[in-house]
Structure 1
Amino acid sequence: MRRFATPLIAALLVGCIKSDSVNPIGGASDVGAGPTGLAYTFAAAPHRLGAGLRNPSGYLPIPVTAGAATATEPRAAVAAAATDPASAGQWSSVQSWPIVAIHTTLLPNGKVLAWDTDTSGVGVQVYDPITNGFSAAPYSPANLFCAGHGVLPDGRVFVAGGTISDATGLHDATIFDPSTQTWSSGAKMQYGRYYPTVTKLGDGRMMVTSGETTCDLCNAPIPELYDASTNTWTSLSGANRDIPFYPHMLLLPDGRVMEASNYSQPVASLVLDLSTQTWSTVDPTILDGGSAAMYVPGKIIKSGLGRDADLSPANSVATTYVIDMTQPSPAWRQTASMAYPRNMHNLTLLPDGTVLATGGGLNSNRGDTASAVLQPELWSPATETWTVLASMQTPRLYHSTALLLPDGRVLVAGGGRASPEVDQLSAEIFSPPYLFKGSRPTVASAPTRMQYTNSFFVGTPDAARIASVSLLGLGSVTHAFNQAQRFVPIAFQQASGGLTITAPANGNVAPPGYYMLFLVDTNGVPSVAPIVRISSGPADSQAPTAPANLAATAASSVQINLSWTASTDDVGVASYFVERCAGSGCTNFQQIGTATTPSYADTGLTTGTSYSYQVRANDGANNLSGYSNVATATASGPPPSSGLVAAYAFGEGSGTTTADATGKGHTGTLLGGATFTASGKYGNGLSLNGSTAYVDLGNAADLQITGSMTWSAWVYATANPADDGQIVAKSNGAGWQFKTSPDTGPQTFGVGVSPNSSSLTQRYSNTARQLSTWYHVAGVYDAAAATLNIYVNGVLDNGTLRGTIPTSQYNNAGENVVIGRRTGGYYFPGTIDELRLYNRALSQAEIQTDMNTAIAPTPDTQPPSAPTQLNATTASGSQINLSWTASTDNVGVTGYQVEHCQGSGCTNFSATGPVVTGTSSSDTGLSAGTTYSYRVKATDAAGNWSPYSGIASATTPTPDTQPPTPPTGLTATAASPSQINLTWTASTDNVGVTGYLLERCSGSTCTNFIQIATPTATSYSDTGLAASTTYRYQVRATDAANNRSAYSSIASATTQGTLSGLVAAYAFGEGSGTTTADATGKGHTGTLLGGATFTASGKYGNGLSLNGSTAYVDLGNAADLQITGSMTWSAWVYASANPADDGQIVAKSNGAGWQFKTSPDTGPQTFGVGVSPNSSSLTQRYSKTVRQLGTWYYVAGVYNAATKGLDIYVNGVLDNGTLRGTIPTSQYNNAGEHVVIGRRTGGYYFPGTIDELRLYNRALSQAEIQADMATPIAH
């Protein structure tokens, strides 16, 4: 088969291969809320993230070799990367993604926006690095593939251009809002742009540079500026210049914009002065730069090969250059090279100031995954050298991306969607070495907004060990360049409880918008970054309101808990400063900590000591509020535990049961609409509607009490019941009750016990209960002393007593203990919290301790069930995959620990890594040919561990070191002026051949072969070649272990010369349908009529089948088919029957006019060609060859007007037979006739198959005819 798509068609099929809205814009609110909107927790543990919202709203490691760089290039030694994560970093397992992440942008909420070659349907995804989950965010009005993009000052994502078709760009500006995950359309650009670059300027406008408009290399010459605040564009018409597509544009600290390098080719560096709209040359030296980044303001690094992936492949380079644009005469300076040559790689700025290079290949062939560089490298600005790090698993070549995350890890994804590259529907996350060098610094508080030059406070308990503070812009990456990343060092000094930092000087240093704020300690370990917004507005001078309702409650003998009502602020409250002094009435307050929420736990106190507290609020601009009220509490001992029968904290928050915190199992069932509320006294509480809601605690034996008792609870009434409102009771009138009551006139608290089944003795409080106020109430019945007392807020508050206090109480055995009602109704309206029942009388001190002590939740001591069905499967010589069936738990399983040991039957198990949350894991970095045994256990939030699963074992295969046999029988055949077809005999291998590495050089004796393709079949078509040029080829085989065979023999071929005068050409390769394409591109499409069909039995693949009676193809009668001079007709012809008269191969004739045919005119069936001197005669030449049925012939007719020649060739040989008539010096053009294949006017149908038909408007030579005969028509 030889039907291959042309390069243009292939490009259109894959989309963005560089041969790569609906609603009006309105005022958008901020889409991020600084640290409170970020899903990352600021954990101190190294290399670990927590998921908690802060608020609701070898491949072959080939070293650098000679020839890959210039002789003067500084060379870095290539050494194997260290295996210690503290030196080499560590990769996550490969994540499956629903798309190829060709475009990625970090959002202000910490998630990642990514899209593929098609932005409709599932082609756009929002990825959450915390949960590893995805949500689709499609955009269907247009395709944003191969656009430029960045993050607007308000946090929305700005996308410029996109693709209509290959090399034809969109005029669109498209905007994504992360807060709603919706798209909208902005005002359109003057130019359509495909492969543009977006650069945020110091005033927040977005500059769009270059990008193809309507054709390949037709780049938009004028930059345009987008102002999101007005949804308008400004064209920089004075800056007219042809800048190659996807230029590496960087905003300098002086406001100029520099083109450091670009995606497609080496260039001299330019700067654009926006004030004068003029370009000037920085350094005239033309240097490579496959990727570039500004590693500090004004200082730029670029490295590797910049080369369009559609150009013929070239070896990558490892060169690295730096330039300091803050110097008076800046020039590029070469530094130590990377260890590996790279093209299509990404440079990512890290919070410690280093630069990470990931991905790319040893050459610019995007399909050569065998030459992918899997080892990242880390560049140090201090030493200007590179360090090789741990290898990733997946090739990341053309269309791969790399993006810094707020936790300091790097998301590496994508690669593919451009034939012949493999589509990488996956991602890996890299943890740089700094995450393994100690605990992280923590960020306790941070400003949500910063204004230029102002000072701000960052709360951290680690201030003493902070070595640097930096801002890093939210990245936006495509095509090996991050268009939005920026590293800005921040001045800082230590302050009480944290650091005082100074915002950047202006927008040219840090353009307005969202940044990650990193603290880095003396070990180089970064914090998890809060995301803050920098703006150029006026300084915030308005202080927050003072915190209110400060309350202090003893939690234990060494801890007091504080809570208060949150402050408000015109911009936002960043933190609270908590101050303390010892003693009731003390005034010497000292700050003891900061909080970002309206609560604080003060620990490490002295038992029995009173402490006073005050709090004030701080906003992001360091404006301080007034102080709150002063609250005092005493660090008291643990609450009483003897005699405690039941206790309820109501901490569940949801569900229909509430746990008994004593562990005695008196679980309460919520009925009649009883619910949990977040507005309890300490966290959640129990909400009761006063009409139907209650909680049933059952009637267990230890609740059948006839002696002393204590009842206590925090109570908050929202309405006054008409009669008693029971807090908790075991009564139908007789039996004990604990309630609010109007019995004495005002609403008071009451407690009652029954001496017998027909009476009730009751004590009421003096305190009149108010609505919407928290009270701690306790009732105490002492049977031995015959007393019945009531306490309100820890103070004895005995009021009216009704009845005689008995020495024992009546137990109403048939009644359940019920919260919020008793038999007969008597519902309580409001909230109850911290309810306790004792079977003894508590002292006042014990009651006060209970009042100040929240009930601890019931400890979970039940472990999960053991995981089952553990399965171990070998994935490679260094990896075993594991899966198992999930465990169950009374509360919930939080993770699994996988352990392994070496050998079958081994017992010295150790953990393979951190706890995993799913039911699968991959154990990597294993030794080949080794058996490993595994077991798994589950854990829950309380740290309970399940029993182990059963043991599963697997053995990694022994390394395959045997190479395939070399390919044989390599042949090279010229197919056209730009194409050579190659075939060879397959290699064999002990495991299996996975592909072939095809190499080529130019010239009849050349030896400088370079790899051009990695086909998996035993044939390849090499396209895009130069005409009349000799090429040499060799091929070798490879297997899954990357063993490579010896080379095949060398085969060579010379591309055909370019043939002029070709008017129409037909390969008939369609296979189906009613039209056939003109391969010349001139548009002479043929229409199949009268039963003409395609057949798979052509000379080269498909052909045209004609039935000899009705079938033909009409080619039309275009102007360039009206020929009066020389002509050549040629085709492969296969007759299946002898026509009674002429059988026209192709003609433009009704008797007069040219004909190309088979004919019985001379007796036997021969081939013939005829031209007309005038409208009434025909001169004809017949072949000597007698045409046989069922045989392919290549036939050409040549009319030379200048020499009066009319010749016929059969199978490339001149075969002139009989001539009838006089050959004219010009031919008659029968203007009214169409050109028709398979007949002429009047009939004369041809029966059989025709293939490879060509029409020329000149006379071809015999050599040219033979070249056509040997060359299939490309289509």
Structure 2
Amino acid sequence: MRHLISPRFRTTAIGAGAFLVLAGLNAPAAISYAEHTYHAYKIDQPAYKARFGHWDLLDVPQKFRVNAIHAALLHTGKVLLIAGSGNDEESFDAGTFETVLWDPVKDTFKLIPTPEDLFCSGHAQLPDGKLLVAGGTARYEVLDGKVERAAGPMLVKNEDPDRARTFPKGTVFRSPDGREYRTAREFTVPAAVKKQGDDGKVTVTASEERVFVEAVRKGKSQVKSEAAQYTIKGLRGKDRQNVYGLAQGMTLQKQDYQGLDVAFEFDPVAERYMPVDPMEEARWYPTLVTLEDGRVLAVSGLDDMGQIINGKNEIFDPETKKWSEAPDRYFPTYPALFLTRSGDLFYSGSNAGYGPAEKGRRPGLWNVEDNTFRPVPGLTEQDQLETSASVLLPPAQDQKVMVLGGGGVGESPKSTPRTAVADLDAEQPRFVPGPDLPQGTRYLSSVLMPDDTVFTTGGAEDYRGKGASDILRAQFYDPEKNAFEPAAAPVVGRNYHSEALLLPDGRVATFGSDPLYADPENTRTGTFEQRIEIYTPPYLYRDSRPEVRSGPKELDHGDSATYTVSSKRKPASARLMRPSAVTHTTDVEQRSVALGMEQRGNKVTLSVPEDPSLLPRGWYMLFLTDSAGTPSEATWVHVG
């Protein structure tokens, strides 16, 4: 008997067959699509969010998308994103410097006029709530083989005791053989110092100022290997004799980035930069760290010649707005320095970017007053501390510092999953191993959370994400369990020039990333990541959270303060959390300080530690956490 097949069935059968053939030919793509669809479904389920949290991309209008190199939370609740030139030489040459202020509550943005290139500066929170920003970029690097003009440092001398001299950018120095070299910036040479001795004789000591110069003409003919004295083009008579330049030589060697000496306070209320006295040293890649008396110490960086500063440090006084000399001590650039309960600074060994592999890599406690340094041993793989993360574990009273991951010096492909913890309260502090990260990780972002965990996210396995090595993972470190717990994975990869910080509502915002390449084969130039991704932790998917309804905004060391609270569950802990100011995986500002707590009905009385080295003056987020580990939204308080 003959079977009849309808035209409709025949068409369907042919279509199904074609689909099966196509599916067979494209099996990986079909499976990938199915996996992606299922993954998107799974991570959006309430049970998944309650266990692992959830990531969301923020819709940032095009005009406010910047290359976020620095991120700082202000006491207004807004986030300052500093790009400067954003590692973009065209923007630098055009003088286009950017800063954006983001309001996480309203999701609004504002462009802030940026007076200098604050790219790769340092920053610290000041006692009054302003943000000190110091240093930045005076000149971009020129790599070996790309240098077209012979260049080098010029020491300008002034023997005139009656007159200081200011010279514009482009001032030309002429060598005895007629070759000319021009300055890269404006500079001032003070008047010489005239003194009369006890014998009545008058001596004049020439003043001096160092400036970088490059040849007016291109090519090898402008290279000079011998030392010489240079005249300044345009000066005549005694001026020509009194003011001159000295240089050891001019070369076509690689020229590193050069630093600025500028300093500004960013006012969160006026929402603008305000200049303060410049630093004595120009600094690029410096660390600024708050001391127990509220002053700020600036260390390390590349100077105005592109050379790493060999230990010259200085201190900013917020009262006078001036800088003064600090004890000399060498560190690689962006060293992680933490204020400890004794007032000493603990150097974890973490750093970013510049400095020889054999110098300044050893962790230890630095007494700034008497300039002594006590090494803290036990840390393995000290050759892989560059681009590692460091945090003062919560609560700060425990005085434990954790180092996470890191990589080899410079463009090394090496990275480590190693973590380690140093107990600084021990009689003989030393590092002990912690749990490994899932894989070797550099550029890891690490954020203190109100429930005393540490949220870590992103990073890359290779230098600047080479070989498509960005790590799309996140996890929580629990100090009590000394273990990692998994969290939802981010969508956006973050490596060099990336940041993360805690928001007042308990979420974590992530910014930036500056990959060297855009493909696994390292053939296409990377693009700076301008998307903002926000992580909502599991504790914000619970049925309720505590609320601090009223209480004082001003606290003093050693005081007690009573707050009215509303909480479905019993309040369990209270923390004062210092807002972040983070760049290059370095955030020495964030700390979480435990408060004593007594509860009577809907009133909670909190006691504030007396020690300013544990709790430096300034603005803090007050979080109240319930017995389930759910924090309140932060209440801003000022410790004065």
TM bin, normalised by shorter chain, reads: 0.5 to 0.7
Structure 1 match to 2:555: 450
- Please tell me whether residue 160 in structure 1 is matched to residue 160 in structure 2: no
Alpha carbons of 1:433 and 1:463: their partners in 2 closer, same or farther (altered >3 Å)?
closer
1:482 equivalent among 571, 587, 601: 587
Cα offset for 1:496?
4.2
- Among 260, 263, 268, the residue aligned to 2:348: 260
The equivalent residue for 1:95 is 59
C-alpha distance after superposition, 1:700-757 (max 9, x if no partner):
xxxxxxxxxxxxxxxxxxxxxxxxxxxxxxxxxxxxxxxxxxxxxxxxxxxxxxxxxx
Q: What residue in structure 2 maps to residue 340 of structure 1?
A: 439
- Taking structure 1 as reference, are residues 496 and 465 closer, same or farther at Cα in structure 2, changes over 3 Å only? closer
- Alpha-carbon offset, residue 101 of structure 1: 1.4
Measured after TM superposition, the shift of residue 325 of structure 1 is: 0.4
| Aligned residue identity for 2:121 | A
CA contact (8 A) 1:463 1:499 kept: no
Contact 2:417 2:436 in 1 (8 A): yes
Matches within 5 A, 1:961-1110: none
Is 2:538 the partner of 1:433? yes
Q: Tell me how far apart the structure 2 counterparts of residues 202 and 391 of structure 1 sit (CA, whole Å).
A: 38
Which of the numbers 355, 367, 370 marks the counterpart of 1:276?
Answer: 370
CA distance in 2 between counterparts of 1:108 and 1:499 reads: 23
Within a 5 Å distance, the mapping from 1:116-265 to structure 2 comes to 116-118=83-85, 123-140=98-115, 142-166=116-140, 167-216=257-306, 218-236=308-326, 239-264=327-352
Distance 1:158 1:405 in 2: 20
Q: Distance in 2 between matches of 1:81 and 1:250?
A: 39
Q: CA deviation at 1:437?
A: 2.9
Amino acid at match of 1:147: S
CA gap 1:95/1:504 in 2 versus in 1, 3 angstroms: farther
* 2:77–2:103 Cα contact (<8 Å) kept: yes
Partner of 2:465: 366
CA 1:435–1:358: 2 relative to 1, 3 Å: same
Distance in 2, matches of 1:422 and 1:487, equals 35
Where structure 2 has 5 or more consecutive residues not aligned to the other structure, the ranges are 1-31, 33-42, 87-94, 141-256, 518-524
Secondary structure of 1:481 counterpart: coil
How far residue 527 of structure 1 moved from its aligned partner, in angstroms, is 0.3
Aligned to 2:75: 108
The TM-score with structure 2 as length reference comes to: 0.67
Aligned 8 A contact 2:84 2:96 in 1: no
Query: How far 1:417 moved relative to its partner?
Result: 7.6
Structure 1 residues 125 and 84: alpha-carbon distance in aligned structure 2, compared to 1, 3 A threshold: same
Q: 1:124 to 1:225 in 2, by over 3 A?
A: same
CA spacing shift, 1:285–1:525, aligned 2, 3 Å? closer
Counterpart Cα distance in 2 of 1:328 and 1:116: 43
Query: 1:137 corresponds to which letter in structure 2?
Result: I
Asked if the contact 2:407/2:441 (under 8 Å) is kept, the reply is no
Could you give the per-residue CA deviations for residues 540-575 of structure 1, whole angstroms, max 9, x where no partner exists? xxxxxxxxxxxxxxxxxxxxxxxxxxxxxxxxxxxx
1:86 Cα deviation after fit: 1.7
Question: Separation in 1 of the partners of 2:545 and 2:568?
Answer: 12
Scaled by the length of structure 1, the TM-score of the pair is: 0.34
Letter of the aligned partner of 2:400 in structure 1?
K
**Greater fraction strand:** 1
Matched AA of 2:68: A
- Counterpart residue type for residue 109 of structure 2: F
- Kindly indicate whether the alpha-carbon contact (under 8 Å) linking 1:460 and 1:498 is maintained by their aligned counterparts in 2: yes
1:274–1:355 distance in 2 versus 1, CA, 3 Å: same
Partner SS for 1:371: coil
Contact 1:474–1:484 (8 Å) recurs in 2: yes
1:1151-1230 to 2 correspondence within 5 Å?
none
> Aligned-pair distance for 1:220?
4.6
Q: Return closer, same or farther for 1:512/1:171 CA change in 2, 3 Å cut-off.
A: same
Correspondence list, 1:662-701, <5 A: none
If asked which structure has higher relative contact order (CA below 8 Å, sep 6+), I would say 2
Which of 499, 519, 531 is the matching residue for 2:604? 499
User: What is the SS of the residue equivalent to 2:597?
Assistant: strand
Rounded to whole Å, the distance in 1 between the matches of 2:318 and 2:294 is 8
1:559-708 paired onto structure 2 within 5 Å: none
Give the superposition deviation at 1:89.
0.8
C-alpha separation between the residues in 1 aligned to 2:464 and 2:111?
Answer: 32
Q: Which SS does the other structure have where 1:84 is aligned?
A: helix
- Confirm whether residue 85 of structure 1 aligns to residue 74 of structure 2: no
Structure 2 CA distance, aligned partners of 1:218 and 1:327?
34
Determine whether 1:472 maps to 2:573.
no
**Matching of residues 416-427 of structure 1 within 5 Å:** 416=514, 420-427=525-532
C-alpha displacement of 1:268: 1.6
Which one has the bigger helix percentage? Answer: 2
- Structure 1 contact 464–494 (Cα < 8 Å) conserved: no
Amino acid at match of 1:334: P
Cα-Cα RMSD: 2.3
Report the alpha carbon displacement of residue 285 of structure 1 after superposing the two structures with TM.
4.7
Q: Could you tell me how far 1:485 is from its partner in structure 2?
A: 0.5
Q: Distance in 2 between matches of 1:235 and 1:382?
A: 41
Distance change (3 Å), C-alpha of 1:122 and 1:101? same
Equivalent AA in structure 1 for residue 51 of structure 2: S
CA distance in 2, matches of 1:216, 1:344: 24
In 2: Cα distance, 1:484 partner to 1:515 partner: 11
Cα distance in 2 between the residues matched to 1:81 and 1:130: 23
**TM-superposed deviation, 1:506:** 1.8
Alpha-carbon distance between aligned partners in 2 of 1:493 and 1:200, rounded to the nearest angstrom: 31
Structure 1 residue 205: deviation in Å? 0.5
**How many aligned positions are there?**
452
- Provide closer, same or farther for how the CA distance between residues 217 and 381 of structure 1 changes in structure 2, counting only shifts above 3 A: farther
Q: Deviation at 1:347?
A: 0.9
Indicate the percent of aligned positions where both proteins have the same amino acid: 29
Q: Conserved in 2, the CA contact under 8 Å of 1:401 and 1:478?
A: yes
Match status 1:322 vs 2:407: no
| 8 Å CA contact retained: 1:122, 1:136 | no
Unaligned 5+ segments in structure 1 are 1-57, 59-79, 536-1275
Q: Is the 8 A contact 2:259 2:306 kept in 1?
A: no
Q: 2 CA distance for matches of 1:463 and 1:456?
A: 22
Q: Which residue of 1 aligns with 2:486?
A: 388
What SS does the aligned partner of 2:348 have? strand
Q: Does the 8 Å contact 2:404/2:444 carry over to 1?
A: no
Among residues 304, 327, 331, which one is paired with 2:430 in the alignment? 331
> Residue 175 of structure 1 aligns to which amino acid in structure 2?
E
